[in-house]
Amino acid sequence: MKAARRDYSLLGPERQRAFERGLASGQWYQCPVPRKRMKELMQRSDHPALERAILWFALILGTGALAVWSWGSWWGIPAFFLYGTIVTGAADSRWHECGHRTAFKTQWMNDWIYQFACFFLYREPTVWRWSHARHHTDTIIVGRDPEIITPRPPDILGLILTIFNLKGGLLTIRNVFLHAVGRISDEEKDYIPESEWPKLVITARIWIAIWAAIIALSLVMWSWLPIVLLMLPQFYGHWLVLFFGMTQHIGLADDVLDHRLNTRTVYMNPVFRFLYSNMNYHVEHHMFPQVPFHALPALHEEIKDDCPEPYPSTWAAYKEIFPTIFRQLREPDYWVQRKLPPRKQLAPEADDVATVPAE
């Protein structure tokens, strides 16, 4: 018998079912970590993020200059592809960490880069701050999590369109104009507090003003260059966002209160870890979201014996993801079942176990 397609909206019957089953705002499993060690891991510092931000902006300026220099030639295609990948692909993890306000110790630095990254991802700052908070509270809980990339059975067309941000990006443009006149959807109202709605409206109007200024500059220069350089990287550079994002949760369990079962940790090379800001340690991040990105490898060492085996490479993760997606087209109830190790216990002389709530 063919399984019934579930309703992944935030206002449908799955929402009520999540509450009835105790999944909404539920109590998540956390690996035991000594409290003293957790306090050390949670220490924030400007230096690691500032060092990486300077390198990131240098790469943006360098690849952007190369793209401008190659404008009008065939060399422009790879040059703009590289520029878009650096500015947008790497913006995703910066948006993420600064949205958690853990990247920098100095909060205005978090907020500034968060706004910058939001613009180059076409993610409205207020919408996504609260959307992501819900994602952490109810990770892959159907009817509650607004950031599930694809349902079961998978939306193959949606995934293909997301390579170039043609699904989310175009929807954002539409929503920005709606928000600018004060129209907020019922689903957005479900996770954005009413006190935050004015920020949403103001930011939408600012974005429209920036877009208008970029278009005006293109008209004055009588060139597409400003638009391609500042308004379109969100599309031609978005592939890397999906490439990393698909490794996080796709194909794993939904409706569970254990991040070890619905989230992947994947070992990646240094270049990927820089571009992705160590978010490949994704089980660790979801379990303890207040730990800054630069401390995630150390956190991984603390909890790895209480977690499933990490994926040894991105390739290894995708060797599981793609077959799972195609199998779910035929068997929507199928998911990858991660093998948990025996329950880990702290040594008797260890400090109290840290308990860190999700953000």
- 149 lies in some domain: yes
**pLDDT reported for residue 351:** 47
Rg (CA), the chain: 21
- 92 lies in some domain: yes
Give the Å distances, CA to CA, from 292 to 39, 106, 240, 285.
11, 13, 22, 8
- 349 lies in some domain: no
Q: Report residue 215 as tokens.
A: 């278009």
pLDDT per position as a tens digit, 41-83: 999 999 999 999 999 999 999 999 999 999 999 999 999 999 9
- 105 lies in some domain: yes
Q: Identify the band that residue 342 occupies on the pLDDT scale cut at 50, 70 and 90.
A: confident
pLDDT per position as a tens digit, 189-246: 999 999 999 999 999 999 999 999 999 999 999 999 999 999 999 999 999 999 999 9
Which residue from 347, 288, 336 is spatially nearest to 311, judged by alpha carbons? 336
Q: Identify the band that residue 343 occupies on the pLDDT scale cut at 50, 70 and 90.
A: confident
- 5 lies in some domain: no
Q: Domain count of the chain? A: 1
pLDDT per position as a tens digit, 124-144: 999 999 999 999 999 999 999
Task: Show Cβ contacts of residue 350 under 8 Å, excluding neighbours closer than 6 positions.
Answer: 34
Does the pLDDT value for residue 3 go beyond 60?
no
- 350 lies in some domain: no
Range of the domain at 139: 13-330
pLDDT per position as a tens digit, 142-183: 999 999 999 999 999 999 999 999 999 999 999 999 999 999
In residues, how long is the chain?
A: 359
Give the Å distances, CA to CA, from 41 to 25, 38, 95, 186, 355.
25, 5, 21, 38, 13
Q: Identify the band that residue 20 occupies on the pLDDT scale cut at 50, 70 and 90.
A: very high
- What is d(CA 117, CA 124) in angstroms, rounded to the nearest whole number? 10
- 34 lies in some domain: yes
- 271 lies in some domain: yes
Q: Using the Cα atoms of residue 164, residue 280, residue 24 and residue 258 in order, give the sign of their dihedral.
A: positive
- What is d(CA 288, CA 250) in angstroms, rounded to the nearest whole number? 20
